[in-house]
Structure 1
Amino acid sequence: MPRPVPEGETHRIAMDDVDLLGLVAMEDMHAFEALYRAYAPRLRRFLRGVLRQHALVDEVLDDTMLVAWRKAHTFDASSQVSTWLFAIAYRQAMKAVRRSDMPLPDPRDEPRAPSDTEPDGTMQRHQLRARLDATIAQLTPEHRAVIELTYFHGHGCKEIAEIVGCPVATVKTRMFYARRRMKTLLGDAGAEAL
C-alpha cells in the first residue's frame, strides 16, 4: 500500500503532465517548479526560433510560465499539456513582436562559420546550419513558428493549428509559403535540401 505523500513532496513523485498541471492549478509551487524544469528548455528553443532576438526570449518565457501559473485551472485536457504551453508561448511571442516592431535580423549577425582547421564534414554542417538559420530568420514570425514547431519540435499540422490558433489549412498554407520563401532565399543548392 503506497504511503501518503506529505505536503511539499510532490516534486519527488513521477507523475504525468496533466497531474502536474492539476497541482499547479492548486498553487503547488513544487509542481510549478517541476513543470518549469520540464518545459523551459523546449519552450526556450521554440521562442529563440520564433523571436530571433535573444534578449526577448527569457522575458517571453517568463511571461509564458506566469500565464501557465495563473491559468492552470483553465486547462481542460482537450489537448496535451505541451500543446497548451506552446500555444501560450506562441501568443506571448506574437505580443512581444507587436510591442517591439522587431525588424528582421541581419544575416551578418549569425554565428560565424567554422575555421578551415575543422574537418570538412563538420565545417559543411556548420555552414549549412548557419545558412538555414539565416534563411529562417528572414521569414515572418508566423512562418518561423510553423517551421520551428514542425522541424525542430516534431509537431503535426493538427497540433500546430491548436498552438497557433488557426485552422489546419492555414498551417499547411503557412508551411507552403515558408518553404517556398526558403527555397528562393537558399537558391538552387539549398532548394534540394528542402
Structure 2
Amino acid sequence: MAREVALVARVAEGDRRAFEELYHLYHRRMARFLTRLTHRYDLAEEVINDTFWVVWRKARDFRGDSQPSTWILGIAYRKARNALRAASRGAAQNLDEESLPLTSEEPFRAEELRDWLGQALAQLPVEQRLAVELCYELGYSCQEIATIMDCPVNTVKTRLFHARAKLQKLLPQLAGAVEREGARPADGPAAREGRES
C-alpha cells in the first residue's frame, strides 16, 4: 500500500512514469472486474481510460483516508455505473467472457460452474452484482465497498445478503436447466418407467 500511496503522490506532481506504473498496477484487476460487471470489453476499456483520466487530474485530491485501490475503484465504480446507464439507453452488445484459468482437476466442471455463476450474476441488479464482485472477487471489506459505492456499510451488507439469497435460488435453477438439456433419452421418464416394470 505504501508503494501505491507514493505513486499517487508522484502522479499528483505530474510524474508520467508514476502514472504509467499505477495504470499497469491496476489495469488487469480493473479490466477483469469491469468486464464481468459490464459484459462488454469495449465499455470496460472505456471506463478504465475515463477512470485513469480522473486519477491523473484529481491525484492531488487524494487525501489518504482510504487505500489508493479503494479510491481508484470508487472512481471506476461511478464511471461504470454511468456508462451502464448510458449503454442501457442504447443498443447492448454481448460478448464472450474472458476465459479464466481453471484451477480444478475437472476442467469441464470448473468451467460449467463458472458459466452458471456468470449467468446467475448477470441476473442480479447492478448494485448487488457490484457488491458481490468487490467482496468475493476482489476481496474488499464491507467498509471499503461502502467507500467505493458511496453508501452506508449496512447498505452494502443488505445488498450482499439479497445477492446471496438470489444466487442460492438461481444456481440450482441454472444447474437443473443444464441437466435437463443434457439428459439422454435413456435417462428420461419413459426409460425409468421401462426399468421399473
The Cα shift of 1:120 comes to: 7.8
Separation of aligned partners in 2, 1:80 and 1:110: 32
Separation of aligned partners in 2, 1:177 and 1:37: 34
The Cα shift of 1:29 comes to: 0.6
Letter matched to residue 76 of structure 1: R
Q: CA RMSD in A?
A: 2.4
Give 1:82's match in structure 2, choosing from 69, 76, 85: 69
Contact (CA 8 Å) 1:157, 1:172: kept in 2 or not? yes
Contact (CA 8 Å) 1:64, 1:92: kept in 2 or not? yes
Q: Does 1:128 align with 2:116?
A: no
Question: Which residue of structure 1 lines up, in the alignment, with residue 22 of structure 2?
Answer: 35
**1:154-181 deviation digits (Å, cap 9, x = unpaired):** 1110110001100000000000111111
Question: Which residue of structure 2 lines up, in the alignment, with residue 9 of structure 1?
Answer: none
Question: Which residue of structure 2 lines up, in the alignment, with residue 162 of structure 1?
Answer: 147
The Cα shift of 1:74 comes to: 0.2
- TM-score normalised according to structure 1 size: 0.79
Contact (CA 8 Å) 1:46, 1:148: kept in 2 or not? yes
Per the alignment, in what secondary structure is the counterpart of residue 16 of structure 1?
A: helix
Identity %: 41
- Structure-2 change in CA distance of 1:128 and 1:68 (3 Å): same
Q: Does 1:44 align with 2:31?
A: yes
**Unaligned residue ranges in structure 1 (runs of 5+):** 1-14, 112-118
Question: Which residue of structure 2 lines up, in the alignment, with residue 114 of structure 1?
Answer: none
Separation of aligned partners in 2, 1:120 and 1:85: 36
The Cα shift of 1:54 comes to: 2.1
The Cα shift of 1:44 comes to: 1.0
Contact (CA 8 Å) 2:131, 2:145: kept in 1 or not? yes
Letter matched to residue 153 of structure 2: V
Contact (CA 8 Å) 1:105, 1:137: kept in 2 or not? no
| Greater per-residue helix proportion | 2
Separation of aligned partners in 1, 2:105 and 2:12: 52
**Unaligned residue ranges in structure 2 (runs of 5+):** 98-103, 176-197
Contact (CA 8 Å) 2:116, 2:174: kept in 1 or not? no
Contact (CA 8 Å) 1:49, 1:145: kept in 2 or not? no
Letter matched to residue 183 of structure 1: Q
- TM-score normalised according to structure 2 size: 0.78
The Cα shift of 1:105 comes to: 8.3
Number of residues paired by the alignment?
A: 168
The Cα shift of 1:141 comes to: 1.5
- Structure-2 change in CA distance of 1:124 and 1:89 (3 Å): same
- Map 1:97-116; keep pairs closer than 5 Å: 97-101=84-88
Contact (CA 8 Å) 1:110, 1:134: kept in 2 or not? no
- Structure-2 change in CA distance of 1:60 and 1:189 (3 Å): closer
Contact (CA 8 Å) 1:104, 1:137: kept in 2 or not? no
